[in-house]
Amino acid sequence: MFNRYLIPGCLVATTITTALVSMPSAFAAAEVRAVSAKQVGIIAKKTVVRIESSEGGFGSGVIIGRSEKGNKNVYTVLTAAHVVSKPEANYQLVSPVPLNSTAIKKRVKLPLNAKTGVTILPGVDLALITFSSEDTFAVGTIGNSGDADEGSPVYVAGFPQPGKAITRFALQFTGGMISSRLDGEEDPGNKGGNGYDMAYTNVTRAGMSGGPVFDAAGRIVAIHGQGDRENQNPDEAAAGIVSTSQKTGFNLGIPIQTFLNLRPQARKSFGAKLDLSPLNYQLADNSVLIGTRNQKFVKKLRTRSASVPITDVTKVNEEIPE
């Protein structure tokens, strides 16, 4: 089993030296502590998958569940529906490095049947993928997207298509902050389309659609899938079509609560791990703030303190009691 987190907390422009609080229950009232960005990056490496299409498309996803069937593990991946929306296409899933692998940096390529292994969720740009394997993979922890408000640091991970300088598929892990909640109370009529109600400043590229958005404790709070563009055609955006117009720098994801509303029995159905406890930001004495200084975020760092003992979580295979 994947240890709840291996996680980190930091802004795109913020370095925070912290540790993670071990929680005895997914619904415990105690707070979980933000951790280092490097630790969140470790979680991304162990849980993010690449999805390839025979028609030339690429996308990403994140492992969110594990169950058992016979002598095999059955894993569930959450991604954007437009990544796997063509049943006539042949798809291939490229897994993270198995936890039980003796090989170094060796991912596993798995064929994916779009007709039997993919479930498109209604009303939103989300899909579930299932695959079985004798290997052991880490499972990401689902967090509380309701707490990811404006100014909260977040990280996006995925596999962008190769470019001129980076000519191969490489996992990219970028930092940023929540810039807007389109599902908020300030303007309830201005909601995003297909569930895209969370905007953030992280750098993203084509191919990262379906990848996870992590909070500062390494929990999944959204699924990435759109890049905002100048004068973007709404129909193209809803269909996940990459526009040729200039990107604005803002990107959008579907809050994980939207998924939980559609799959409230996720924990029992496919072994999802949830930790909905509040996130505690704490600024260490030697931390350095650089770049854009978001006052709301800095205020959180300076005023919140730990209410429970701190445990350093470093082992991937350690089981956390439910």
Of 99 and 284, the structure prediction assigns the larger pLDDT to: 99
pTM for the whole thing? 0.73
Q: How confident is the model at residue 27 (pLDDT cuts 50, 70, 90)?
A: very low
CATH of the domain at 239: 2.40.10.120
Q: What is the pLDDT of residues 79-92, one digit of tens each?
A: 999 999 887 778 88
Under 8 Å between Cβ of 240 and 124: no
Cα separation of the two ends of the chain: 12
pLDDT at position 316 is 34
Choose the most confident range, by mean pLDDT, from 53-57, 166-170, 230-234, 309-313: 53-57
Q: What is the pLDDT of residues 188-211, one digit of tens each?
A: 444 557 899 999 999 888 889 999
Q: How many domains does the chain have?
A: 1
Between the CA of residue 220 and those of 35, 79, 107, 224, what are the distances in Å? Answer: 14, 12, 22, 11
The closest of 202, 212, 59 to 138, measured between CA atoms, is 212
pLDDT at position 304 is 43
| 118/134 Cα distance (integer angstroms) | 20
- Tell me, yes or no, whether 319 lies in a domain: no
Q: Could you tell me the residue range of the domain that residue 75 belongs to?
A: 5-297
| 254/271 Cα distance (integer angstroms) | 21
Q: What is the pLDDT of residues 244-287, one digit of tens each?
A: 556 656 889 999 999 999 999 999 999 999 999 998 876 443 33
pLDDT at position 295 is 47
- Tell me, yes or no, whether 208 lies in a domain: yes
Tallying the residues shown for the chain, one arrives at 322
| 65/61 Cα distance (integer angstroms) | 12
- Tell me, yes or no, whether 122 lies in a domain: yes
- Tell me, yes or no, whether 306 lies in a domain: no
**CA quadruple 89, 122, 81, 111: dihedral sign:** negative
Q: What is the pLDDT of residues 114-166, one digit of tens each?
A: 778 899 999 999 999 999 998 899 999 999 999 999 999 999 999 987 666 66
